[in-house]
Structure 1
Amino acid sequence: MKFKNIHFIINPGSGKEEPILTYLHQALTDTEINWEITVTRKEEDTFNTAKKLRGKTGLVVIYGGDGSVTKAAAALYNGNTPLAIIPGGTANIVSKELGIPQNSREAIDLIVNGNGKVRHMGMANKRPFLLRINLGIMADMILDADIKLKSKLGQVAYGLTALKTTIAAEPLTYRLTIDGRQVTEEGVSLTVTNAGNIGIGDMSFLPGISVYDGKLDVILLKSADPLSILQLAGSTLFQTASDVLKHWQCTNVLVELSENIKYICDDSEEQANSIEISVLPKALNILVPK
């Protein structure tokens, strides 16, 4: 599928340092594509720009990290305007999960020659999300990460923060209603995810998690003691099942806690004691390789 009109949204504060405007100019100058560029200045610019473009251009392209991608996706879901991604961040989990080239020039070639497919999104307390919901230490790792350290060390900053949050981890009691079935479990972390990739190479939380299956994966980490963390690292590295994790697949899950806690929805901080999460099949058109 080729596009006559393309609007690029560029986040200049993303993790990569490269001449992305030069790459776009070189790839598009001799084509018949009409293209425009918006460079964001504020955090809300990505969502607002993408929302204004719904139905007014053939394709919206976001250059940035997972935060920028998820904001653009939230603005475009349940509409007819497709989204394309040029990975420009630190982890780029969404693009890795979808098989989009991590090299910017190759991702631009995909856009120029395009092939669109329908992908899935989720909804958490009426807020759309593309990747995942994190509670417990997985949320604390992101919430407590030092911004300056992250800009210098990238994902290593999350690892350092994870060490601190793991040591201080206290289990929570999660009351789960998974596709109508009630379960009560204690754990130090709960993740409801639409994608398996953790942002490090091709590593995934667990084998078999796919953004293509139309299912949500609910993953509970029961303990953060050294032996459990060692087992978790081994299962992630070698892609094997682990008894330190509990795993369910569903299309709808209600998470209830005894008190309000902070959690992460994609990259945004939220707070609640009850979160209703569901999958939205075929809610977003994303340009992906054949």
Structure 2
Amino acid sequence: MSTSTVDRPSADVPTAAAGVVAVVAHRKKVLGGGLDELRTTLVSAGVGKLLWYEVPKSRKAPKKVRKALDKGAELILVWGGDGMVQRCADKLAGSAVPMGILPAGTANLFASNLGIPADLPEAVRIALHGRRRKLDLGRLNGEHFAVMAGAGFDGDLIRDADRKLKGRLGRVAYVWTGLRHVRGECVRTRIRVDGADWFDGEASCVLFGNVGTITGGIPAFDDARPDDGALEIGVSTASGAVDWARTLGRMAGGRSEDSPFLRMTRGRKVRVRFAAPKTYELDGGARSTAKRLKVKVVPGALTVCCPDPTH
């Protein structure tokens, strides 16, 4: 598997000094000395005008992002995990306002794939002074995602994963929780990629990846990059305890391509039809059920503050 940190200078855009800075924070998330330290750090860094918004749940974040944009925010700092990042990215998609990620969540997969550490002073430094990169987002049934989306087994896994278990065991928790869902049946699934038939058969899970390391810290997609104008697409035919134990074990060990129950490709537009409604998820947040999925990549949709390239 390739490393999770990505470097691609051609995707850079010039770094601009931030004027009005907005913080959109999930108040239940913790990083370093917490939100008090964040405010102190920003004031000490010379931020002149600071807009401050706290929310109790990530689904309330988009309204705060909209308010910050209306008040002239030139940089939006997102405090939280992948759920907060996804909700804010969905609102920021297509705008020129950059997002700085302060990874205060459990997994922080988007941040870790970009090399942004769970270290408050360094994350703030990157947000204020790091290079700005235009990165791709995926879009599923009208909503953007930054890391991955999935339906079927994956959606059920996300919906039922216990937060305390996830926080304590990380990717092992997902394997543990996932094996409880081996009774989830395969359903007839038809997938078209960029206008051509790609898969037609029984499947238990469909995944769409924008980066290499996905839910549970599993390195699922070898060559995924969030700046290549494409999404990674995977379908699983695993259908029992033994099949899923082998599949999840190989994915967790970084050998997903070796599994006989996985098929993968790459594309820009995907259409999926299930014979029965399946739960789908975006960036670790379960949504509703659907029989049809419309998925596409949105190239350069989000500007993100990233570390400088290593030499």
CA deviation digits over 1:149-172, x for unaligned, max 9?
A: 556666554333212012x13112
CA shift for structure 1 position 200? 5.2
Kindly provide the amino acid, as one letter, of the partner of residue 262 in structure 2: L
Change beyond 3 A, Cα 1:208–1:152: closer
Residue number in structure 1 paired with 2:261? 244
Residue number in structure 1 paired with 2:113? 97
Alignment of 1:170-209 (within 5 A): 170-182=185-197, 183-198=199-214, 203-209=218-224
Residue number in structure 2 paired with 1:88? 104
**Gap runs ≥5 in structure 1:** none
Q: Does 1:28 pair with 2:46? A: no
What is the root-mean-square deviation of aligned Cα atoms in Å? 2.3
Alignment of 1:86-235 (within 5 A): 86-147=102-163, 149-150=165-166, 156-166=172-182, 168-182=183-197, 183-198=199-214, 203-225=218-240, 226-227=242-243, 229-230=245-246, 232-235=248-251
Residue 141 of structure 1: SS of its match in structure 2? helix
Residue number in structure 2 paired with 1:9? 24
Change beyond 3 A, Cα 1:47–1:110: same
**Partner Cα distance (2:302, 2:251) in 1:** 32
* TM-score computed with the length of structure 2 as normaliser: 0.84
CA contact (8 A) 1:190 1:220 kept: yes
Deviates more, 1:212-221 or 1:30-39: 30-39
Report the number of matched residues: 287
* TM-score computed with the length of structure 1 as normaliser: 0.89
CA contact (8 A) 1:118 1:284 kept: yes
Alignment of 1:35-114 (within 5 A): 35-54=50-69, 56-114=72-130
Q: Which runs of 4+ in 1 moved over 6 A?
A: none
Residue number in structure 2 paired with 1:288? 306
CA contact (8 A) 2:81 2:108 kept: yes
**Partner Cα distance (2:123, 2:158) in 1:** 28
Change beyond 3 A, Cα 1:140–1:110: same
**Partner Cα distance (1:66, 1:117) in 2:** 18
**Partner Cα distance (1:137, 1:77) in 2:** 28
CA shift for structure 1 position 221? 1.5
Change beyond 3 A, Cα 1:157–1:237: closer
CA contact (8 A) 1:10 1:39 kept: yes
Kindly provide the amino acid, as one letter, of the partner of residue 274 in structure 2: L
**Partner Cα distance (2:114, 2:215) in 1:** 12
Residue 118 of structure 1: SS of its match in structure 2? strand
CA shift for structure 1 position 42? 4.1
CA shift for structure 1 position 136? 1.5
Residue 230 of structure 1: SS of its match in structure 2? helix
Residue 84 of structure 2: SS of its match in structure 1? helix
**Partner Cα distance (2:295, 2:75) in 1:** 28
**Gap runs ≥5 in structure 2:** 1-14
Residue 29 of structure 1: SS of its match in structure 2? helix
Residue 54 of structure 1: SS of its match in structure 2? helix
Kindly provide the amino acid, as one letter, of the partner of residue 257 in structure 1: F
Identity percentage of aligned residues: 24
Change beyond 3 A, Cα 1:146–1:197: same
CA deviation digits over 1:27-54, x for unaligned, max 9?
A: 2333332223211134432111012222
Change beyond 3 A, Cα 1:66–1:114: same
